[in-house]
Structure 1
Amino acid sequence: MKYGVCICFDNIEGIKQAAEIGYDYVEFSFQAIVNADDKAFNNMKNLLSELNIKCETTNCFLPGSFNISSGNADMNEVAAFVEKGMKRGQELGLRIVVFGSGGAKQIPDGVEFGTAFKRLYEFLRDIVSPIAGKYDIQIAIEPLCKKEVNIINTVKEGAMLAVATGKDNIAVLADIYHMKEENETWQDILDVGSQLIHSHISNPGSDSNNAKRVYPTDKNEYDYKGFLDAIEKVGCKRCSVEASIAGDFYENLAKTYKLLKAIK
């Protein structure tokens, strides 16, 4: 299993720390890669090369201003945004783009569910998949819990959207936090099988622990092993830590890495 960490594009010190600790890759915001000026982008490319670490995955694919479900997004503008990000991403070692982006998926009032679903899979099929194919990049649809968006809330729903595109480079992600919020089980991961290509892990909190989505530090906090066993069984090879920082960043990062490596 390769372990990465979700981190801000401009967190230079944090990126250095992640590499020092031993993380296999970093996960940046796709939007940050697109929006960086040429100097900042080239500096980042050089930094990653020096540290011998790559940005193999990205999150925050589309801004909310590109609401695909509404049918009002300028698809030429969206396509240009996707093209720029994937072209740049390839230079950083990008392999998987995570499509969570609740603002871009959210179904607005007056739009039927079926219409929104069709717009999403046509967008992925006709615009995203061909561009991603040029750069040998895959898309992992991230289901977000109902508190965050009103469509594609579970791993199985994400897999259905991926299958609807009919494209081999469109797949699904499992996020331990969103799965907990939607009362999903590890069996849901096994059920989607090879459709699952990426994952996010955190301490999602429990009935006796009010902390939500913080860095995992103890094997007894949650069933991390069950999650990692399930994703490994279906062939998923990457897991990114996506969590809020409570306390010292380096300490959290190091403890989580040690825990994950001890599990798998």
Structure 2
Amino acid sequence: MIKSCVTIALVPQIKTGPWIFWENLEAGMEKASKLGFDAIELFTPSADAIEIPRLKELLAQHKLELAAVGTGAGKVIHGLTLTNPDPTVRQKAISFISDMIDFGAAFGAPAIIGSIQGNVLPGNDREETMSWLAEGLNQLGKHAESKGVTLIYEPLNRYETNILNTIEAGSKFMETLETNSVKLLADLFHMNIEEGNLEESILNWGKYIGHVHFADSNRRPMGFGHTSMREIAEALKTVRYSGYASAEAFPYPNPDAAAEQTIEEFRKWFA
């Protein structure tokens, strides 16, 4: 069964980004619970920004699960990526993500690698850059496995990275890794830009998908763009996807309305 999820970001530096609720964790969780969401996806400045016992208490209080934790603060705040030419920076990125894996694992939740994957920088060799990415994902995937969780890798659109942009490219790269504990994030916004056919991509590579970002073609909440959800929902059911559909979307027209729109669309397609 596919479960509903809404994003909460606690990183001031990314306040212009596509997250539904901001700043106030408890208020966001209370609203998510009242609307009937199953879980939250959390973006924090670091792995120790929230005490684990306190978060467990809040999740139990609001009858919510933790679906995943983001690692983007590693890049936004500290400038870390897994593909930086400097090995010291790459190791710091691995350490930052490892700490986030440990944090999420306390709740059975995976960490997500999005922007912290980096880019093939001008003047750098693509093959070498991809070897750095593979090295990082292998190490982090094995660490995640030791903690009883998976690691989620997100193909981003061409305007955000020049590494891996499609579910097919991501899946073929996953096949080259030494670990089976890295899964893909199918972000419907990015897919609307890069995929020739979203339904076919899910059907062909669904076994690699471990998380879904539920946002429309314009990155507003689902239903405010031109994404054709009927075929996508059927494809996810066909491949027996049973994870979360998480609203990583702009809080349009405001956070409360965005959350309400998201849960209505979720129930329309997945209830």
Q: TM-score range by the shorter chain?
A: 0.7 to 0.9
Q: List structure 1 runs of 4+ shifted beyond 6 angstroms.
A: none
2:204 aligned residue:
191
| Aligned residue pairs, count | 250
* 1:54 correspondence with 2:65: yes
Instruction: Pick the aligned partner of 2:38 from 4, 24, 31.
Output: 24
The answer to whether the 8 A contact 2:7-2:41 is kept is yes
Distance 2:50 2:213 in 1: 28
Distance 1:80 1:256 in 2: 34
Give the C-alpha shift of residue 70 in structure 1: 2.7
Give the C-alpha shift of residue 106 in structure 1: 1.0
Q: TM-score, normalised by structure 2?
A: 0.84
The answer to whether the 8 A contact 2:157-2:190 is kept is yes
Amino acid at match of 1:232: K
Unaligned runs of 5+ in 1: 205-211
* 1:178 correspondence with 2:190: yes
Instruction: Pick the aligned partner of 1:88 from 90, 103, 110.
Output: 103
Unaligned runs of 5+ in 2: 11-22
Q: Which of 138-147 and 60-69 deviates more? A: 60-69
Q: From the superposition, tell whether residues 256 and 67 of structure 1 become closer, same or farther in structure 2 (CA, over 3 Å).
A: closer
2:3 aligned residue:
2
The answer to whether the 8 A contact 1:33-1:89 is kept is no
Q: From the superposition, tell whether residues 183 and 162 of structure 1 become closer, same or farther in structure 2 (CA, over 3 Å).
A: closer
SS at match of 1:32: coil
The answer to whether the 8 A contact 2:114-2:156 is kept is yes
Q: Which of 64-73 and 157-166 deviates more? A: 64-73
Instruction: Pick the aligned partner of 2:245 from 226, 230, 239.
Output: 239
Please tell me the root mean square deviation across aligned C-alpha atoms, in Å.
Answer: 2.2
Distance 1:80 1:122 in 2: 13
Identical aligned residues as a percent: 20
Distance 2:144 2:214 in 1: 25
Distance 1:179 1:155 in 2: 8
Give the C-alpha shift of residue 58 in structure 1: 2.1
1:115-264 aligned within 5 A = 115-125=128-138, 127-185=139-197, 186-204=199-217, 212-217=218-223, 221-237=226-242, 238-264=244-270
The answer to whether the 8 A contact 2:5-2:246 is kept is yes
1:209 aligned residue:
none
Distance 1:158 1:184 in 2: 15
Distance 2:84 2:248 in 1: 28
Q: TM-score, normalised by structure 1?
A: 0.86
Distance 2:234 2:111 in 1: 23
1:36-75 aligned within 5 A = 36=49, 38=51, 42-61=53-72, 63-64=74-75, 65-74=79-88, 75=90
Q: From the superposition, tell whether residues 136 and 98 of structure 1 become closer, same or farther in structure 2 (CA, over 3 Å).
A: same
SS at match of 1:239: strand
Give the C-alpha shift of residue 16 in structure 1: 1.3
1:208 aligned residue:
none
